[in-house]
Amino acid sequence: MKKKWQIAEGPSAEYRASLADVNPVVAGVLWNRGLRSEQAARAFLNDSIDPLLAQDLAGDGSLLFYDPFLFRDMKAAVALIISHIKAGHKIVVYGDYDADGVTASAVLAEALHTLRADVEVYLPDRVTEGYGLNKPALNQIKEQGVSLVITVDNGIRNKAEVEYGKELGLDIIITDHHVLPEKREDMPSCLVIDPADSEDKYPWPFLAGVGVSFKLVCAILQESKLKPAMKKLIAERSLDLVAVGTIADMVSLMGENRWLVKRGMTVLNQNRRAGLRALFKTAKIAIDKPLEAWNVGWQLGPRLNAASRIGHANSAFALISASNEEEAQSLAEELNKRNQSRQLITEEIIKQVEAQIDKDNLPPLIIGLCREDQSWNEGVVGLVSGRICEKYHRPTLVITRTSEEGAPDAEDGSATPAKSSFKGSGRSIEGFNLIAAVEECSDYLDKYGGHPMACGFSVESEERLNLFKEKLLAIAAERIDAEVLVPKLKLDASLPFNQISLPLNEAINELSPFGQNNQQPRFASYGLRVDDVVLMGSEKQHVKLRLSSLEDMSAPSYWGIAFSCAPAYAGIKIGDVIDLAYYLDINAFNGRREVQLKIIDWRPAENI
């Protein structure tokens, strides 16, 4: 689908003057990221933190983050945890089944274990238990002699379950990062640590679940009697998992998240953890050069998430906690197989959803529903909705059936017909608030949740599902106009070829790690002549273009490369003049380092 290019307007003259010592292209990117004062821009460039809000856990400035005791309930939570450790009580870390929840569980459990706590981890099953605390799990936990439950990456909307746990005699601490219930009376009645709580005044509200878990660890260490060197060792060794969970959860990589991920990537590249080493090997991730955030987001994260999508998250937890090389390798291979299965299942469901789409008359919102005689894997419907949404640039819901066996008849022993219920996942586009639309249809839903760009929901009957679909489609038809349905490609600047250089590329890389809210900068160059076209790969699936500027023939020419999309470039031939959208990249080969362009999009030159 053809995209509309949107070049950012760029910074004001006053802003440029205040950052005169910064490369103007870099200054423009900082402006585009919302850092619109000199102070904010320099704080980003220097990784600086307000000393009045900082905690220096190690005493040497190497672990300088926001003070965890800025959370209202942190001091009380730490005191409660320490009291249970001293009493020898059993503690359970109750996590979530995604990569964020699994890493958050490992970070807290490893620290507590080091502090000689009697601690275990409980991860719910994605399909049979679902997200968050549930009463049967709390019963099981209590029966095992547990006294304290600490949630990570969940629990903020589990008021009823927390009350039930307290009735069982459990102490409960909620650590989460998700949005609070609309009414404060619906909050769990226990100690809560959640940066999304606007009344808590924590300076960075966008931590991942693993980030909150790490803050709790830092607070416990701060209150401990350990020497600073030991506190640093315990906290620092978990930062690789903090980086993995934060990137995989696709939270903002600005603010404190950026500091955590930068420090965590340094630890990750030290390659200390047996489970992650095994996963690097199995995923064929080259470790002869530093890993970047995209390696985590596209290679590590999906494999960790595959554990619960095709099975149980316990295997992902076992992998990252493994100390035995042989065990780690076996677990890594199992996760890799699950990820391959996940990919095949995802592709098959995508085909089935696409078969339901009228390509010549695309609706403003796409809904894919499995047939009456099948049930799609619940663990991948969110991935499918995301892929369909991206391809067609339409809000998309993908819905699977979940059948319940009929109850036996008391008189003749026969069973009543099975009852169909439904679970769905949705993804949206800019300009359409999906969760707000779903909320308007919530009378037909059993459960729902999400945010403007994504949602999840369940429906208890086909009749209610049909009413839900009908109302949601009507809302979409009314509120989504034609302009919203045109895909946009947001670019940071127009960049003449004579401005491209290795120093510029290196200056841009200083803005990493790249991810949510800090995307790798994208540029456009116009009027480029194609001097060569090369197909690469075993199936000729990659394309390389040698490009030179007609505007400035004295400027260097550069190679641009597009991976796995040769058909989209089949119309380009030597001598054509095109406009190009791209990232700057460095090609290192045989000791030489050259700038190359990673192509995002192209079009015939418009101003020639």
51-268: CATH, from 3.40.630.10, 3.90.1640.30, 3.40.50.9100, 3.40.1110.10 = 3.90.1640.30
The residue among 245, 295, 268 whose CA lies nearest residue 95 is 245
pLDDT, position 598: 97
How far is it, in rounded angstroms, from Cα 107 to Cα 213?
A: 7
Q: How many CB atoms lie within 10 A of CB 226?
A: 15
The Cα–Cα gap between 291 and 433 comes to 35
Domain 356-405+417-479, CATH 3.30.160.100 — does that match? Answer: no
pLDDT grade, residue 291 (50/70/90)? very high
Place of tokens 């870390």: 93
Which CATH fold would you assign to the domain 491-604? OB fold (Dihydrolipoamide Acetyltransferase, E2P) (2.40.50)
Least confident span in 168-172, 321-325, 432-436, 446-450: 446-450
Domain ranges, ordered by start, for the chain? 4-45, 51-268, 272-354, 356-405+417-479, 491-604
CA 516 to chain centre: 8
pLDDT (mean) for 110-129:
96
Exposure string over 387-415, b if 16+ CB within 10 A, otherwise e: bbbeebbbbbbbbbbeeeeeeeeeeeeee
90-94 and 488-491 as β-strands: parallel, antiparallel, unpaired? Answer: unpaired
Q: Which whole-number Å values give the CA distances from 342 to 228, 305, 314, in the listed order?
A: 44, 10, 17
State yes or no: pLDDT of 527 exceeds 60: yes
> Is residue 407 predicted with pLDDT exceeding 60?
no
Q: Tens of pLDDT along 309-355?
A: 999 999 999 999 999 999 999 999 999 999 999 999 999 999 999 99
Q: Is the pLDDT of residue 411 over 70?
A: no
- Helix or strand (DSSP H, E) at 543: strand 542-549
- For the segment 464-500, what is each residue's pLDDT rounded down to a tens digit? 999 999 999 999 999 999 999 999 999 999 999 999 9
**Region of poorest pLDDT, from 22-26, 124-128, 426-430, 491-495:** 124-128
Tell me, what's the pLDDT at 307?
A: 95
Residue 139: what residue type?
A: N
The tokens for 573 are 């031939």
* Residue 406 pLDDT greater than 50, yes or no: no
Strand pairing class (523-536; 488-491): unpaired
Contact by Cβ (8 Å): 558, 547: yes
Mean of pLDDT over the chain? 93
SS3 labels along 7-50: ECCCCCHHHHHHCCCCCHHHHHHHHHCCCCCHHHHHHHHHCCCC
At residue 181 the predicted structure's pLDDT band, cuts being 50, 70 and 90, is confident
Which tens digits make up the pLDDT trace of 92-105? 999 999 999 999 99
How many angstroms separate the CA atoms of 95 and 461, rounded?
Answer: 30
Count of residues in the chain: 608
Identify the sign of the CA torsion 82, 83, 87, 89: negative
Taking the C-alpha atoms of residue 583 and residue 601, their distance in angstroms, rounded to an integer, is 10
**pLDDT for 40-79, tens place per residue?**
999 999 999 998 899 998 888 888 999 999 999 999 999 9
The predicted pLDDT at position 417 comes to 53
- Distance, CA of 123 to CA of 142 (rounded, Å): 15
pLDDT value at position 452? 87
